[in-house]
Structure 1
Amino acid sequence: MQILLVEDDTYLSESLTEALIAQHYSVDWVWDGESAWERISLFSYDLVLLDVTLPKLDGIRFCQRLRACNYFIPVLMLTARDTSLDKIAGLDSGADAYMVKPFNLQELLAQIRALLRRGQAKPMPVLTWGKLQLNPITYEVSYERLPIHLTPKEFVMIEALLSSGRRVLSCNAIIEQVWHVREAPEQKTIKSYIKNLRAKLKAVGAPRDLIETVHGVGYRLKALD
């Protein structure tokens, strides 16, 4: 699971990052709201841990922008503001949960697990990108209704790309979603899987560059006409 931590307190950020990594989460940390927005635009996250008082773009406005742009990532707000009005403002801005600093680490981890479970419990819609279609229930992938036969890891990888669309998936994000931590491959293995996916897509009529390489960053799907 990929978590974006948005917190301007360096000591707290380092402590939280260490604790989350120990729980086998992947963590990206940024210290201001604008940097967080750039990361959300480029990468796919399963959860955002968000401070309210931030430089450049505060947590309330960040969350409002997130929901206005139809990002449904679970958001857990972390803040020293503990009045009822502050909590109402945070939840009304689009946050899913609200914890007041200082907080108990085990309670925070339990909240994270609950929000991640809630996100995974959502209905599984058929994913489409132009003529490409993936049904997560029937485990079928097709292009212009022509079936594409994929290995289990190829299926999860194309599912991750379809879920991200034009947002870039880094190699680390792909590894997190496709492989177990103990068997994480090298980045050249990711390139090999992408090459195989492109070949199978091309064989049913899809453009070879349907999966784009964003050099030095990762992969995403080609913009639709």
Structure 2
Amino acid sequence: MILEDTIAWLTDADRWTGAGSIPQRLAEHVGITFLVVLLGALIAIPVGILIGHSRRGKTAVVGLAGALRAIPSLGLLTLVGLYLGIGLKAPIVALLVLAIPSLLAGAYAGVESVDRQTVDAARAIGMSEWQIITRVELPLASPVIIGGIRAATLQVVATATLAAYVSDYGLGRYVFSGLKGGDYSPMLGGAILVSVLAIVLELILAGVHSVSRRLSDPASTATAKGTL
């Protein structure tokens, strides 16, 4: 019965047009996911690259990433929401805390994994540290960095449902409105929509990840040739 009601809810034409429609909520959900991952990348990836390049601060990063992962998202959202009030600021802060560990770990692990002999050879032929980072380490580390972006995106898109807890935003609105009204159809419908969105994003990012892996091998070959 619940499944039938959910299918009817999802296929109702009124759900696909106007204010509060599925396309609008979907666009909001994708928008907040993209914004959080972008902000997180701007903060975490440069720090991770610096740590991976210098080989310093890894212990602190691992500890910080573990600590951030241990924070309950709903609890953090509630705490930040009490301070910042109703709106998108609290969800963005809470989701940033969730996204940064994967982005940070992917950046420093990717750069750190680059063969030291390749880096030393690049330094020996006169490359500056900036050139080594941009021309040697980043091309070779790109698959791992993209893997971190992929993990962060999937974590954020799933947890962004909580944004509706303190704001009228995203697909999570269906879940919370159904919970409040005791109607399971929008709750299950919203969960299905979030799941489908996560699967679509995973397929897209998996393709990008695969391409980056293939491109990193020619980059390695070119770099090795350039150091001879």
Q: Under a length normalisation based on structure 2, what TM-score does the superposition of the two structures give?
A: 0.27
Hey, which of these two has a bigger chunk of helix by percent?
2
Hey, which of these two has a bigger chunk of strand by percent?
1
Q: Under a length normalisation based on structure 1, what TM-score does the superposition of the two structures give?
A: 0.27
